[in-house]
């Protein structure tokens, strides 16, 4: 071969070798892998891988080549990535620095002790003219179940549910008991005021007491006559005589319908106590007492419904008597 040809062939080989060295991917990036421990994992634990990548000579990382947050396989789930990126100026251009953190979460195990594998990845870089792929190898980890295997330990696979905790309702029962006592007392008070008290007072009305006496005693006896006089005096709030009956009827108009038998009674009483004439009474005193008792009851019911006129009759009679 002539010397000239050998010279040009040597020059071509030198230029080709220089171009190959300029495009070598190992001069365009640095990759450091920070791996997690390889053992001691249980359900719920996370294994963290960190990739520290430096790109030179205008190379950029293809972000689409990064793994996505998803379930990787039956055992692992990848959480969202944490990516730190900074740019540093150098002699040959800007350098790209990436710190990529991947957290794999252990979500399932089907063996008491099991080997699981963090998957391999391929990162893609490019400078617009050349494309390179950076392989990242898989990583095997050892995991184990926290609880023993039910088949080998004889323990039940599941435990019975605990009953819900019981609340202490003692304070509430106390408050409920106090409220029940107060409510019962209030109910008894209402019964007393609106039922028992009127019923008891009904038997203590003046003409009601006089009627009970006349039912036991002869109508023309002095005891019966005095019982009726006491009823008139108690109702009027003073002594009632024949000469002031008009004042009595003015103060107690509800008795005015019995004016004639009442007047006859007073005339008979005066005759019986102050003369020797003991003839029978001109009216049925038992029937008169029953009618007076009925008029008295109606008046008390009216007073109960209209308390403003409760003492009007007694006050008027007292003023007239004075």
Q: Identify which of 280, 265, 270, 292 has the alpha carbon closest to the alpha carbon of residue 211.
A: 292
Run of H or E including 9? helix 3-22
Q: What is the DSSP letter of 279?
A: P
d(CA 57, CA 134): 16
Q: Identify which of 259, 239, 252 has the alpha carbon closest to the alpha carbon of residue 321.
A: 239
The predicted pLDDT at position 19 comes to: 45
The predicted pLDDT at position 136 comes to: 92
Q: Which residues contact 138 (CB under 8 A, 6 or more apart)?
A: 117, 118, 119, 120
Note if the pTM is more than 0.75. Answer: no
> Is residue 51 packed enough to be buried (19+ CB in 10 Å), middle (13-18) or exposed (0-12)?
buried
The predicted pLDDT at position 201 comes to: 55
Q: Identify which of 119, 139, 120, 135 has the alpha carbon closest to the alpha carbon of residue 53.
A: 135
Per-residue pLDDT 10s for the chain (322 aa) are: 455 656 555 655 555 544 444 445 557 788 999 999 988 898 889 999 999 998 887 888 899 999 999 998 988 999 999 999 888 876 666 788 999 999 999 988 888 888 999 999 999 988 888 888 999 999 999 998 876 666 666 666 666 778 888 888 888 888 998 999 999 888 888 877 666 666 555 557 888 888 888 888 887 788 888 888 888 888 888 888 888 888 888 888 888 888 898 888 888 888 888 777 778 888 888 888 888 888 888 877 776 666 554 444 444 444 444 4
Tokens at residue 250, please? 């003015």
The predicted pLDDT at position 162 comes to: 81
Cβ atoms of 77 and 20 within 8 Å: the answer is no
């Amino acid at each position: 071969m002539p010397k000239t040809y050998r010279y040009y062939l040597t020059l071509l080989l030198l230029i080709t070798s220089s171009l190959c060295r300029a495009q070598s991917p190992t001069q365009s990036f640095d990759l450091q892998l920070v791996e997690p421990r390889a053992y001691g994992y249980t359900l719920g634990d996370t294994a963290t891988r960190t990739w520290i990548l430096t790109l030179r000579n205008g190379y950029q990382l293809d972000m689409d080549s990064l793994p996505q947050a998803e379930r990787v396989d039956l055992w692992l789930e990848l959480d969202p990535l944490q990516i730190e990126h900074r740019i540093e100026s150098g002699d040959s251009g800007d350098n790209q620095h990436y710190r990529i953190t991947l957290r794999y979460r252990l979500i399932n195990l089907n063996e008491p002790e099991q080997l699981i594998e963090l998957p391999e990845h391929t990162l893609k870089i490019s400078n617009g003219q050349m494309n390179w792929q950076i392989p990242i190898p898989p990583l095997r980890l050892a995991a184990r179940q926290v609880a023993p295997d039910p088949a080998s330990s004889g323990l039940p696979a599941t435990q019975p549910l605990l009953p819900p905790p019981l609340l202490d309702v003692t304070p509430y029962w106390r408050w409920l008991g106090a409220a029940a006592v107060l409510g019962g007392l209030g109910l008894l008070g209402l019964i007393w005021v609106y039922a028992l008290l009127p019923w008891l007072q009904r038997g203590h009305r003046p003409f009601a007491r006089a009627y009970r006496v006349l039912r036991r005693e002869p109508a023309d006896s002095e005891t019966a006559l005095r019982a009726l006089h006491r009823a008139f005096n108690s109702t009027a709030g003073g002594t009632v005589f024949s000469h002031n009956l008009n004042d009595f009827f003015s103060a107690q108009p509800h008795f005015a319908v019995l004016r004639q038998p009442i007047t006859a009674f007073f005339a008979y009483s005066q005759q019986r106590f102050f003369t020797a004439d003991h003839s029978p009474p001109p009216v049925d005193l038992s029937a008169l007492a029953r009618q007076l008792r009925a008029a008295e009851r109606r008046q008390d019911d009216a007073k109960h419904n209209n308390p403003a006129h409760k003492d009007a009759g007694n006050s008027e009679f007292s003023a007239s008597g004075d």
